[in-house]
Amino acid sequence: MNKVYVIGIGGTGAKCIRSAVHLQCAGAYGKEVRLGVLVVDADASNGNLQSARETVQCALEAGGILRETNVSLFSGPIKNYGYWNPLGNYSDRLTLSDIYREAGMRAVDAGLGELYDCLVSPEERQADLSVGFRGRPSIGSAVVSRISATGFSQGPWPDLINDIQADCANGDKPRIHLFGSIFGGTGSSGLPTLGTLLSRQLAGVRDAVEITASVLLPYFDFDIPDDEDIYAEAKNFTLNTDAALQYLARLAGDSFNCIYLVGDGTKQRYDQPATGGPRQNNPSSCIELIAAAAVSAETGVGYGNGAYLTVSDDNVMTWEDLPGEGTSTSLRSALRTCYAWHFNLYNELRESQRFDSKKSFAKGAPWFDRFFALNDGTNRPDVESEAESKQIAAFDKWSVDFMQWFQEICWSGSAREQLADIRDHVFKAYQGLEPDASRQYAESLEKLVIGQTLAKRENWRDSIDLLKNNLADKKHRLEGVIGLINNLYEII
């Protein structure tokens, strides 16, 4: 099993983690990949970070009870290393002046104090860092680099480093993949710094470890936030990028086996921007999806060898534009499976739970008895059992998150919808045990995937009814909810 450790740094890094986790659940990284996940951000309340952590949690819950051998959905395990806050040790002192003990520093060395004055503006010194580094890499670098003093001995780092070293000892070739923007604050300061420090920390096994990174160049734009004096400014993005790329090339480049730069000529505009905190919860973007797809790219091969990757149409993203061998196929199948689940199978299963006679239900749903027991004592899973109910709820929760994420991607950076036509749908989680009345039954998948045309003899795949019929025609190795969703995924 391949071991991949993804580390998302900052808000954009967290958003890439969200994409990476969804790709892993959808089987895009392959069946034999174990994904370790760590998010790094100084802003614990950041909306992007919270969304990513919720996604990881959904995926863990669903994967924990839906994982099976030799299936596509949730086949690869996910290990959550949690969250690391570079300000962790300074949580009671949240300005740069506090962290560097400005008063003491000036008292000990007046020259050092003057240098500090040169490098850090008065506003930056007093800015509250609990909402992140405010798009200022200089602040971020000053904070993140202090991790070297702890030698990765705090938070989730010892666990992560131990696992990587254990993988190497077992003869595996683990990969550490970092995500982060290079134009903001946390990512541009944290990504090169952490990459370099990890490379040094793993010096003993460095040859057996691949360290790669998806570095996101400016791909969004926003107006000046109205909430703070010190804020991330889009006008600084180019300057920040230039400086960070120079740093990467000259000082940190050797620490990485491969760095993937991802950007977009047309910047997505975020409305209602926020410098940090819960309000900074920007919609997911296809750029993050491309960055996440780089995890499966072989370093030094094809687009992993510094090749330019460009989209076939300037205005929209197409399925062919997604890098990676199985990315498009897996995502399409996962999308169609989740759609069929959300607008059909979920309510069907909930409806079946309400039927006293399961045989009576199976008469109108011939697929049902291929996966679930009727009232006849067969050894198939009982749809009303607690285990199956949990699986239904867990998959539904993940699929809602997946669809919300994909809906955001479909709208990102484009004047018109791309990849999938799901603009008019509302995807929201449902807690009840009965059918969700807000979900209207759908039957056709024909117009769901933009640009996908099936051969005439394959047209049946566009009908949920015919897909269910296909499932009804034969027995399946896997039964229950796991069998239902995985077999649907395989034929969809």
Partner 1 sequence: MQMKTRYVLGGLAITMGIFWIMLVTSFLIENYSLGLKDPIKWSQQIYLPSGALSSILYLCFLLAWIYYTFIRKCKNCLEAKQTLGLWLTLLGMAISSNIVSLVLFINFTTIQATASPNFQTGVIDIDAPPYELLIPLTLVNGLLLFWLPSCFLSQRTLRFIPPFSYELNTISEKR
- Measured in whole angstroms, the distance separating CA 123 from the mean position of its chain's CA atoms is 34
- Choose, by CB under 8 A, the member of 222, 237, 260, 361 that binds partner 1: 361
- Is residue 368 within 8 A of residue 358, CB to CB? The reply is yes
* Least distance from partner 1 to the Cβ atom of residue 464, Å: 8
- For 379, left (φ over 0), alpha (ψ -120 to 50), or beta? alpha
- 475 is a site residue for partner 1 (CB under 8 A): yes
Binding flags for partner 1, 316-355, as an x/- string (CB under 8 A): ----------------------------x--xx--xx---
The angle subtended at Cα 360 by Cα 354 and Cα 361, nearest 5°, is 55
- What b/e readout covers 198-236, taking b as 16+ CB neighbours within 10 angstroms? bbebbeebbebbbbbbbbbbbbbebeebeebebbbbbeb
110 vs 433 by CB, closer to partner 1: 433
Is the Cβ of residue 78 or residue 365 nearer to partner 1 in the bound state? Answer: 365
Q: How far is the CB of 364 from partner 1 (least distance, A)?
A: 4
Q: At what angle do helices 47-66 and 386-411 cross, to 10 degrees?
A: 140
Cα-based distances in Å from 30 to 25, 73, 77, 327: 10, 10, 11, 9
Q: Cβ closer to partner 1: 210 or 384?
A: 384
Residue 72 binds to partner 1 (criterion: CB under 8 A): no
Nearer of residues 386 and 473 to partner 1, judged by Cβ:
473
Give the x/- contact pattern for partner 1 in 435-474, rule: CB under 8 A: ------xxx-------------------xxxx-xx--xxx
Among 364, 454, 477, 491, interactor with partner 1 by CB under 8 A: 364
Contacting partner 1 within 365-404 (CB under 8 A): 365-366, 368-370
CB of 462 to partner 1, least distance (A): 11
Measured from the CB of residue 190, what is the shortest distance to partner 1 in angstroms? Answer: 49
- Left if phi > 0, otherwise alpha if psi is -120 to 50, otherwise beta: which for 239? alpha
Stretch of residues binding partner 1 (CB under 8 A), selected from 15-23, 197-205, 281-289, 361-369: 361-369
Between 96 and 392, CB nearer to partner 1: 392
Is residue 105 at the binding interface for partner 1, with CB under 8 A as the rule?
Answer: no
CA distance 183 to 264: 13
Tell me the three state secondary structure of residue 353.
Answer: helix
* Binding-residue total with partner 1 (CB under 8 A): 28
Q: Longest Cα pair distance anywhere in the chain, in angstroms?
A: 86
Q: How far is the CB of 481 from partner 1 (least distance, A)?
A: 17
Closer of 121 and 441 to partner 1 (Cβ): 441
| Alpha-carbon span 383 to 478, nearest angstrom | 14
| Closer of 429 and 472 to partner 1 (Cβ) | 472
The structure tokens listed for 139 are: 């602040």
Contact range with partner 1 by CB under 8 A, out of 177-185, 226-234, 318-326, 362-370: 362-370
* Cα torsion 94, 99, 100, 105: sign: positive
Look at the block and give the residue holding tokens 């680099």. 145
**Amino acid occupying residue 63:** G
Query: In the complex, which residues of this chain contact partner 1 (CB under 8 A)?
Result: 344, 347-348, 351-352, 359, 361-366, 368-370, 441-443, 463-466, 468-469, 472-475
